[in-house]
Amino acid sequence: MEKVKVAVNGYGTIGKRVADAIRLQPDMELIGVGKTSPNYEAIIADKKGIKIYTVKDNIGKFEKSGIRVAGTIEDMVKEADIVVDTTPNGVGATYKPLYQSLGKNALFQGGEKADVADISFSALCNYDEAKGKKYIRVVSCNTTGMLRIICTMNKISKVEKVRATIVRRAADPKEVKRGPINSIVPDPASVPSHHAKDVLTVIKGIDIVTMAVIAPTTLMHLHTMVLTVKDKVNRDDIINTFLNTPRIILVNSSRTTVSSTAEIIEVSRDMGRVRYDIPEVVVFEDSIYTNGNEVFLMYGVHQESIVVPENIDAIRASLGLMGKEESIKVTNDTLGIMKGYLL
Amino acid sequence: MEKVKVAVNGYGTIGKRVADAIRLQPDMELIGVGKTSPNYEAIIADKKGIKIYTVKDNIGKFEKSGIRVAGTIEDMVKEADIVVDTTPNGVGATYKPLYQSLGKNALFQGGEKADVADISFSALCNYDEAKGKKYIRVVSCNTTGMLRIICTMNKISKVEKVRATIVRRAADPKEVKRGPINSIVPDPASVPSHHAKDVLTVIKGIDIVTMAVIAPTTLMHLHTMVLTVKDKVNRDDIINTFLNTPRIILVNSSRTTVSSTAEIIEVSRDMGRVRYDIPEVVVFEDSIYTNGNEVFLMYGVHQESIVVPENIDAIRASLGLMGKEESIKVTNDTLGIMKGYLL
């Protein structure tokens, strides 16, 4: 099989993970990454043998740091069949004209406005609609988490209403200048938060309102959610459906004593996962509670890695490489993504 | 006016604040506080001229620390007309036989089971029902916060349903052995949390489900709440009602730039409030959002001080000293409790 050539423009939290994931795909070749600053991540990429492209003016800086440069970002885009843009929020849109002028397909991340792309994407929800789309936006980590739950619940009974609170992590582990370190911050203070609107870019016809606050932690987001579904549902049916859905894993707190985001991450470290990433949504099984047509639950979202498999699937959808089930299976197998219980 | 004699048994986070508040009331006399360990709080109480009572076996320890002891806790209870029990969770119930045997009225805190008392109490909700009750339980900080909001909303339109998420502070500022410091912890992992049941000990007939998580912060709890009310309500009516309700204050984030628990506390520090206490519920005005019969909002609860005015009012209700409105007014005036905008 001839491999498609993928470029990753932006090499931070998401970009470095997507680049690693691409290198594990049987049908993809990573031709290089775009990086503007010669920091420790660039040094590691170079050591791994990943080709680094940068903007013309910064080539000297990279060479001073002893990092090899393969060319300019424009050179990289020219060589690619598709570009995964993982530049910072809002920067992706400024690169779009370059991708367009060179006639390349491109993926954008959730930090861009929805209209940057032809479609917003979440693999379990709308893979098929994204087939052949030239520009696809992979929604943000929180929206990805919500959509996996909502689209899976939809299989049991139509989700009519969602009321969710998003407790966001304050900073990623590597970030040394972000806070808060001792405050809870409504973010935004106004209701509804943008997450509700973002869910509706992927699935329609749901009455959804979200509220969001930031908490001083780096490990994971945590959502509390109340879903109102068309027909009365059974707790066991929900658990069984989740257990059979890839990219959703359950943690049984009473049996395993894992009952926080810190302990979930510790399990991932003990499992030897690279960077302790958890691309699965992690549902606290004990929190699943039904009350008539309402379903309550709490789950964790690993902000750094949850969108990685989504980006891989979106590449295949955009270029028409595989159907939904096949792509999800290959992505899960190559990245070691689980279903069932965490432990 | 002859003052009623009040003893405070337990002198930690709540006890020391209630003792200070009693000393500010025109109709109350603090006869002393019960304290079992001769720590810095006992030293400060002694310096303030507050009489300290302890258990017989610990008198020597206090004297070694240079702290004067007025007698045993039993001596103190004998002298009192009423005891405010602020001993640790679950300890209050073990003291009840002493209060009973000496024929004293007593208040308990929310950490005790509801059946320790004749009634659970929240001043804005059920002051009148508590009149003359020998044993009253002042509900916990989170429950007090929820009840103030629910009972105030009830005045606008009957509250039929409440769905709330409680983001709890991990530890009080003085606690050096509690966590988490980098995790979000469902607490409990199961739904509903006990807070819903606790609200129902004070007001009946509401369909309420709560979910709770702990976040790594010390300053305040923060709740996100969705109330379903009987009649469609108007955002301005809610704001106006809150502005006219004592013990609820609003913070307008856009106008004042106060948009987190840390900034609320900083305002209290700048105002010169003792210990930076905020016994009011602090509602983020920007978060108030109506959607048909639903009302959404977010508010902060200062865990260390919110129940202080409730304890003062409960003393008056138990001993029949004043009616509801008068007691709340005297408490608010003496403690400097606000209504309206924080700034």
User: What does the pLDDT look like over B41-52, one tens digit per residue?
Assistant: 999 999 999 999
Please name which of B253, B242, B251 lies closest in space to residue B343, comparing C-alpha atoms.
Answer: B251
Q: Give me the mean pLDDT over the B143-171 stretch.
A: 98
State the best of A174, A182, A194, A293 to mutate against chain B, taking most chain B CBs within 10 Å. Answer: A182
How would you list the strands of the sheet with A119-121, edge to edge? A71-72, A52-54, A28-34, A4-9, A82-85, A105-108, A135-138, A119-121
* Minimal Cβ distance to A211: which of B189, B209, B296: B296
Sequence-distant (≥ 6) Cβ neighbours of residue B238 within 8 angstroms:
B153, B156, B288, B290, B295
CATH topology of domain A4-139+307-333: Rossmann fold (3.40.50)
Does residue B1 carry a pLDDT above 90? no
Q: In this structure, which topology does domain B4-139+307-331 adopt according to CATH?
A: Rossmann fold (3.40.50)
Shortest distance between the Cα of A291 and any Cα of chain B, in A, equals 9
Contact flag A189-B262 (C-beta cutoff 8 Å):
no
Strand partners of residue A207? A161
The interface predicted TM-score (ipTM) is 0.91
Task: Give, in order, the Cα–Cα distances in Å from B139 to each of B16, B94, B145, B172.
Answer: 18, 18, 10, 18
Tokens at residue B76, please? 């103190």
Tokens of B28: 């109350």
Residue of B nearest to A164 (CA): B165
Task: For A264-289, write each residue's pLDDT tens digit.
Answer: 999 999 999 999 999 999 999 999 99
Tell me if residue A336 falls in helix, strand or coil. Answer: coil
Whether residue B55 lies within 8 A of chain A, CB to CB, comes out as no
Q: What is the percent of chain B with per-residue pLDDT over 70, rounded to a whole number?
A: 100
Cβ contacts of B260 on chain A, cutoff 8 Å: 180, 183-186
For residue A135, report the phi and psi dihedrals to the nearest 5 degrees.
Answer: -125, 120
Residue type, B47: K
Mean pLDDT for B124-144 is 98
Phi, psi angles (nearest 5°) of residue A239: -60, -45
pLDDT of residue B293: 97
In the residue annotation, A125 being an active-site residue is answered as: no
Q: Which residues pair with A332 in a beta bridge?
A: none
pLDDT tens-digit readout, A115-160? 999 999 999 999 999 999 999 999 999 999 999 999 999 999 999 9
**Please, are residues A227 and A295 in contact by the beta-carbon 8 Å criterion?**
yes
Percent of chain B topping pLDDT 90: 99
Encode pLDDT of B306-315 as tens digits. 999 999 999 9
Among positive and negative, which fits the CA dihedral A73, A76, A81, A86? negative
Choose among B261, B289, B291: nearest Cβ to A184: B261
- Residues in the annotated binding site of B: 13-14, 111, 140-142, 169, 195-196, 303
Domain(s) of CATH 3.30.360.10: residues in chain A = 141-306
| pLDDT tier, B217 (very low <50, low <70, confident <90, very high otherwise) | very high
Out of A186, A261, A286, the one facing B298 most closely (by C-beta) is: A186
- Supply φ then ψ for residue A5, to 5 degrees: -95, 120
% of chain A with per-residue pLDDT over 70:
100
Nearest Cα to Cα of residue B278 among B297, B244, B305:
B305
Residue of B nearest to A260 (CA): B185
> In terms of CATH, what superfamily is A141-306?
Dihydrodipicolinate Reductase; domain 2 (3.30.360.10)
Q: Does A263 touch chain B (CB under 8 A)?
A: yes
Q: In the prediction, which pLDDT does A31 show?
A: 98
- CA angle in degrees (0–180, nearest 5) for A277-A280-A283: 120
Question: Checking DSSP bridges between strand A4-9 and strand A28-34, what pairing results, if any?
Answer: parallel
Strand pairing of A294-301 and A221-229? Answer: antiparallel
Distinct helix (H) and strand (E) counts, chain A: 13, 17
Q: Please check whether residue A196 is in contact with residue A142, taking contact to mean a CB–CB distance below 8 angstroms.
A: no
Question: Are β-strands B294-301 and B281-284 bridged in parallel, bridged antiparallel, or unpaired?
Answer: antiparallel
Tell me the mean pLDDT in the region B276-296: 97
* Among B163, B262, B297, beta carbon nearest to A163: B163
Q: What is the pLDDT of residue A260?
A: 97
For residues B2-16, average pLDDT: 97
Average pLDDT of chain B? 97
Residues of B in contact with A259 (CB under 8 A): 185-186, 189
Q: Which residues contact A77 (CB under 8 A, 6 or more apart)?
A: A7, A9, A83, A98, A99, A102, A104
The reply to whether residue A184 touches residue B215, judged by beta carbons under 8 angstroms, is yes
CA distance B221 to A249: 29
Q: Is the pLDDT of residue A1 over 80?
A: no
Q: B289 at the A interface (CB within 8 A)?
A: yes
